[in-house]
Structure 1
Amino acid sequence: MPLPHHADRPQHYLKPGEIYCTERPVVVTTVLGSCVSVTFYHRASGLAAICHVLQPQCPRSTGCTTGCEAMGRYATCAIDAMGRWMADCGVRPGQVEVKLFGGAAMMGRGNRRIQPPSVGRLNVQAALSSLQRLAFRLKVADVGGATGRKILFDTASGEVWLKRLIPAMVADTIEA
Structure 2
Amino acid sequence: MKPTTPKLRARKKAHACSGTEVSKHLKSGLPLFYLKAGELIFSRDAALVSTVLGSCLSLIIYSNEPRLWSICHVLLPTGKLEEGFKYVDSTFDYMVRTVEEYGIRLSSCEVKLFGGANSLMTSGSGSAKSVGEKNIALALEKLKSYGVKPAAIDVGGPSGRKLFFNTRNGEVFVRKIGTANYRPPTP
**What residue in structure 2 maps to residue 34 of structure 1?**
55
CA deviation map 1:112-170 (0-9, x unaligned) = xx5332100000111111112222221111110001000011222322100000346xx
Query: What CA distance in whole angstroms lies between the structure 2 residues aligned with 1:122 and 1:12?
Result: 28
- Report what 1:124 is aligned to: 136
Kindly indicate whether residue 179 of structure 2 is the aligned counterpart of residue 159 of structure 1: no
Q: Is the 8 A contact 1:41 1:155 kept in 2?
A: no
Which amino acid in 1 is paired with 2:88?
A
Alignment of 1:22-171 (within 5 A): 22-58=43-79, 63-64=80-81, 68-70=82-84, 72-107=85-120, 114-167=126-179
Amino acid at match of 2:72: C
**Equivalent position of 2:24 in the other structure:** 4
Tell me the matched-pair count.
Answer: 159
Residues 57, 75 of structure 2: 8 Å contact kept = yes
Q: Deviations over 1:65-93 (max 9, x none)?
A: xxx251x1000111111111211111101
Q: CA RMSD for the aligned pairs?
A: 2.3
Q: TM-score, normalised by structure 2?
A: 0.77
What's the secondary structure of 1:138's corresponding residue?
Answer: coil
CA contact (8 A) 2:56 2:76 kept: yes
- In structure 2, C-alpha distance between the alignment counterparts of 1:97 and 1:142, rounded to whole Å: 15
Query: Any idea what SS the aligned residue of 2:151 has?
Result: strand
Q: Quick check: 1:43–1:158 contact (8 Å CA) kept in 2?
A: no
Counterparts of 2:87 and 2:40, CA distance in 1? 10
Q: In the TM superposition, what is the alpha-carbon distance from 1:5 to its structure 2 partner?
A: 4.6
Unaligned runs of 5+ in 2: 1-18, 181-187
Tell me, in whole angstroms, the C-alpha distance in 2 between the residues paired with 1:103 and 1:153: 17
Residues 45 and 105 (structure 1), Cα distance of their counterparts in 2 relative to 1, 3 Å cut: same
Three-state SS of the structure 1 residue aligned to 2:73 is strand
* 8 Å contact from structure 2 (residues 119, 179) kept in 1: no
Q: Is the 8 A contact 1:93 1:137 kept in 2?
A: no
> 2:151, 2:37 → 1: CA distance?
23
